[in-house]
Structure 1
Amino acid sequence: MSDLEAHPEAALCEASPGPGPRADSYPAREVPLGGVRGVFVRRTLPQRDLPTVGAWCFLDHFGSTAPRDDLPPDIDPHPHIGLQTVTWPFEGRIRHRDSIGSDVQIEPGQLNLMTSGHGIAHSEYTVTGAPAGQGLQLWIALPEGAREIAPHFEQHRELPVLDLPGLRARVLIGSLAGVRSPATAYTPIVGADMRLDPGSAVNLPLTTEFEHALLVIDGELSVADQPVTPGALLYLGSDRSELPLSSAGGAHVVLIGGEPLGEDLVMWWNFVARSHDEILEARNAWESHDLARFPDIAGHTPDQRIPAPPLPNLRLKPRKRRVV
């Protein structure tokens, strides 16, 4: 999934230090994507007051709401700049195609990681005959030194696992308690898919310098004896060396985190940049069918390209995030 709203809001943030330990809940919002060719997802990042967690800047749970009959779960060609997309399905199979020649299918337990760099276009289609897809798509903002690199794609069919009594965590990217993913990361980061056994109680080791957040996919979870409901993002702040987790009936939970972002960002539509002018340049390149920046995707016709929405009238500028 991608940010294909017809009138997307800009998510703007200034660099900020770690806020210390917190336990702030941010509800998901249901977002329609892509007009008549879109789907409904539950979006928990960015939030107006919390645009990033580390370098994570976007988190959608797709398939978590029933698609409308007239909105098939296929995403036609669209562009990205300045970010990495992380696709992690729970159910179904998805076909990924992009403008650098990738054409792969992904299924549960596998990770797709697309690094857009200066510019890439891709599409995502449900595989014919497969069950309806459900899973997560997340974005990672590329740091200044990597955001103009050449685009590339990788798929990981085997990912390392952290096993603790009562908890099994598959490390998607970055590292958790010494277990490191092979996925390419350009900033200190962690992403993990965790399953807690019924009746479990565990202290999860964390990197103290990171800020973290949890998303409960389903089940029962308590964090330091605080119940957490499925669907909302629990922002944990920074400066935690461990996190007490318990579950009476078992739970499926996703952990994200990383060093607090030290750069100002401007995020609009499918672009992560540093200024309004960069956003405008990328939008114009897509709308003018600039093949040098966004080549065509094999198997798609030009009329399938999703048009960019209009830019806001005001210039986009970074805004200090508020965590209160």
Structure 2
Amino acid sequence: MSNVETEPVEMRCGELVGDPQSPEAPRVEVLSPREVPLGGPRAMSVRRTLPQRARTLIGAWCFADHYGPDDVSRTGGMEVPPHPHTGLQTVSWLFSGEVEHRDSLGSHAFIRPGELNLMTGGYGIAHSEVSTPRTEVLHGVQLWVALPAEHRDAGRDFQHHVPEPVRIDGAEIRVFLGALAGDVSPVRTFTRLLGAEITLEPGAAVTLAVDSTFEHGLLVDIGHVRVAGTLLRPAELGYVPAGLSALSLANPSDGPARTILLGGAPLEEEIVMWWNFIGRTHADIVQARADWEAATDRFGAVEGYPGDRLPAPALPNATILPRGNRPRS
């Protein structure tokens, strides 16, 4: 998915500021989303929890949009024309609906509930995303992973994976990246990551063994969930710093609760992110935008999309300034 804000926030993202293991630091940091429209007056909107001023990275996860349930008959659904990416992997995951994906690698695929589509756009890739005519309700998440410096110019790639559900203590878990609950995803990433959908039955509680070197973020889709003892409401993301070898989740309500668990080793390097580009300097962003506007071979062409590609917004009239995570209090 493209970040189609007309004035996208420019930022340099780095490692966590402060000591997350200090005794005075809260165990869970609750991040609230902001609403971002994706297009014109009838367009759907998304709830964005990453990046924001409070936190810009969880592991290498650098972008999280949560959308729906969206009544496609009212909003028109998703219609994102061909647009570029650099320095990242896009992770698409649906709860309901169907989205058609086309990219400049030549991939033509569909995103369906419980199925992972992961696209790598290191040096440059372009893709389009359109909800299909048979979609009535569109509901899901779009996530980005920053590529580390040594792989920032990785070649174009597209992977599809359908994880089998794992059931433990009233929880149903689908591991789409990394390893959890005895299941391991075969999907390749460039840093150590975790991504999983976890649905909890009413009143269920589960404790999961996790990598203690990982930071974690739990995004609540429906219901209320306690993570490490802190209650999260729908659309909130709870950040848990590295250091825990087990993560406790509990659903205190009489209805089901559904979440997305993200994790990863802290990305101990700085990145600059603007619009759909990730680089290391302001100059990287300027060059990527110029290449896209000039329709160079860097991003290739998306075949089969019946319309024009998405133009890049204007760059800010200043050097893109660094922005990192605030010190924990």
TM-score, structure 2 as length reference: 0.91
Deviations 1:170-228 (A, max 9, x none): 11111124421111111011011001112212212111000101111101322244321
Does residue 263 in structure 1 map to residue 269 in structure 2?
A: yes
Match of 2:101 in 1: 96
The answer on whether the counterparts of 1:126 and 1:132 sit within 8 Å (CA) in structure 2 is no
State the alpha-carbon separation in 2 of the partners of residues 69 and 276 from structure 1.
Answer: 39
Q: What is the number of residues matched between the two proteins? A: 321
- The equivalent position to 1:193 in structure 2, one of 178, 197, 208, is 197
Deviations 1:65-92 (A, max 9, x none): 6679576521111000000000001111
Letter in 2 for 1:4: V
Match of 1:14 in 2: 14
Secondary structure at the aligned position of 2:179 is classed as strand
The answer on whether the counterparts of 1:215 and 1:232 sit within 8 Å (CA) in structure 2 is yes
Mapping 1:290-301, distance limit 5 Å: 290=296, 292-300=297-305
Q: Percent identical across equivalent pairs?
A: 44
- The equivalent position to 1:253 in structure 2, one of 234, 250, 259, is 259
Secondary structure at the aligned position of 2:303 is classed as coil
Unaligned runs of 5+ in 2: none
- The equivalent position to 1:277 in structure 2, one of 280, 283, 300, is 283
- The equivalent position to 1:287 in structure 2, one of 290, 293, 296, is 293
RMSD: 2.0
Does residue 229 in structure 1 map to residue 230 in structure 2?
A: no
Match of 1:25 in 2: 30
Letter in 2 for 1:274: R
State the alpha-carbon separation in 1 of the partners of residues 50 and 72 from structure 2.
Answer: 20
Q: CA deviation at 1:122?
A: 0.3
Mapping 1:58-207, distance limit 5 Å: 58-64=63-69, 72-156=77-161, 158-207=162-211
Q: 1:65 to 1:7 in 2, by over 3 A?
A: farther
State the alpha-carbon separation in 2 of the partners of residues 6 and 34 from structure 1.
Answer: 9
State the alpha-carbon separation in 1 of the partners of residues 40 and 276 from structure 2.
Answer: 15
The answer on whether the counterparts of 2:220 and 2:233 sit within 8 Å (CA) in structure 1 is yes
Unaligned runs of 5+ in 1: none
Deviates more, 1:80-89 or 1:65-74: 65-74
The answer on whether the counterparts of 2:71 and 2:138 sit within 8 Å (CA) in structure 1 is no
